[in-house]
Structure 1
């Protein structure tokens, strides 16, 4: 049966999100139907809702940090049962046969992953709609389990902000003895600090804001460097093995590259736009340094990350909002006025007119 759903949607790049009724696809034998409880608010939701990446499909129901309970499962589903607490992140499908998918890296699928919203279902060509809604239908391969020990609402941002920072730290083998820096203290940056500290690294925060030191140390930073202070930047020249750059807007990489040790790596996880100003090649050549990038993580690694969080008691710092407050939340996010991730209480949909 077709599922009629309530949610909030953007109807165009210039209109605010508002109540919207829509139809989800019929559940298939491998599908899990999830009653959504919480949905995190990601900066990419703003980019997409306002067509800043020039690929938006309207009407659009954003949201890809989804926590909910299973309400039904298809005949071929054995991993999940009714009542399970589960999560859905940025993807709901991929080709599942290319080299990337075979390695468990569905986010890099050669045929293109199907995104949780602003995508097109590869089987029936219906648009995908995200977690700013009461229910979602997802193939069981793209559903992850949420441990009972995790605070479900604070776990929601782990489905994007969490895996986006965990995956590169694991790939570049951050651990005891590593000297790691995180650029930016927002939704991604605060998770980067938590994970790097839990992995045993010596952790530094780069920030442009002088008053963030106490907060950064609470989240796991051992040191705080004011990136606008030339003396402080010079003092950390050639120090870091790995830098996690979480800033979502174009910025000068050159001062940070100078702080990398020989063979060090700066990894971009927040920026999709062109790098401006240009990188001076000497900053990478003279020291065999690398600039890299990383996007979320595969499904198996996302489950690994969630299990790691359950073991180490790691969740996001969140501010709960009603869905009726989403447009104001977007404006506050653009001013960095959130510590550190908004999460929508989907029960508030019942208040929508």
Structure 2
């Protein structure tokens, strides 16, 4: 959703990913490119090139490579789960970089985003499974075989049970 929203707002968007297999998905969502974070040459070439990075990684990870890719006065917004201990303070001071986070917005902000999404035909990409496939969904989650998000369709449940 972040790629779709940023693109609709006119930003030049680069998706950061651990592997190149998401490149076509990134472009389909509105990104202009993909940077493979496990490729040291790509990460080195991107040093100081981003104004803003939205970090949504849900597993422990080091923020230092992301901070290194920020330009002067760049901002890293952490929504994910950074490695405990955080970055070294000198990494932020070199280049006047900032780290921030974001909570959820209130009702007014939610309405504004939903209206923006409606105006720009922005929807969430989900895979719908019947609720009877919950075990399959959990197995696929554990295997990392989820394309964006699962939604369980509860209409297959017997309302009288």
TM-score, normalised relative to structure 2:
0.91
User: For residue 333 of structure 1, what is the aligned residue in structure 2?
Assistant: 141
**What secondary structure, in the 3-state scheme, does the structure 1 residue paired with 2:127 have?**
strand
Map residues 1-353 of structure 1 onto 2, 5 A cutoff. Answer: 191-271=1-81, 275-276=83-84, 278-350=86-158
Q: Separation in 2 of the partners of 1:264 and 1:286?
A: 11
Deviation, structure 1 residue 210: 1.9
For this pair of structures, how many residues does the alignment match?
A: 161
Runs of 4+, deviation exceeding 6 Å: none
| Conserved 8 A contact 1:251-1:277 | no
Structure 1 or 2: more helix by fraction:
2
| Conserved 8 A contact 1:268-1:292 | yes
Summarize the Cα distance change of 1:333–1:295 in structure 2 as closer, same or farther, 3 Å threshold: farther
Deviation, structure 1 residue 334: 3.4
| Higher RCO, 1 vs 2 (CA within 8 Å, ≥6 residues apart) | 1
TM-score, normalised relative to structure 1:
0.43
Deviation, structure 1 residue 328: 2.7
Q: Separation in 2 of the partners of 1:335 and 1:205?
A: 22
Q: Separation in 1 of the partners of 2:15 and 2:160?
A: 40
> Which ranges of structure 1 fall in alignment gaps of 5 or more residues?
1-190
| Conserved 8 A contact 1:233-1:255 | yes
> Which ranges of structure 2 fall in alignment gaps of 5 or more residues?
none
Summarize the Cα distance change of 1:339–1:261 in structure 2 as closer, same or farther, 3 Å threshold: same
Q: Which has the larger radius of gyration?
A: 1
Deviation, structure 1 residue 314: 0.4
Q: Separation in 1 of the partners of 2:85 and 2:27?
A: 30
| Conserved 8 A contact 2:20-2:34 | no
Deviation, structure 1 residue 275: 2.6
CA-based RMSD of the aligned residues comes to: 1.8
**What secondary structure, in the 3-state scheme, does the structure 2 residue paired with 1:218 have?**
helix
Q: Separation in 2 of the partners of 1:282 and 1:343?
A: 43
| Conserved 8 A contact 2:49-2:70 | yes
| Conserved 8 A contact 1:210-1:226 | yes
| Conserved 8 A contact 1:252-1:277 | no
Summarize the Cα distance change of 1:349–1:255 in structure 2 as closer, same or farther, 3 Å threshold: same
Summarize the Cα distance change of 1:323–1:351 in structure 2 as closer, same or farther, 3 Å threshold: farther
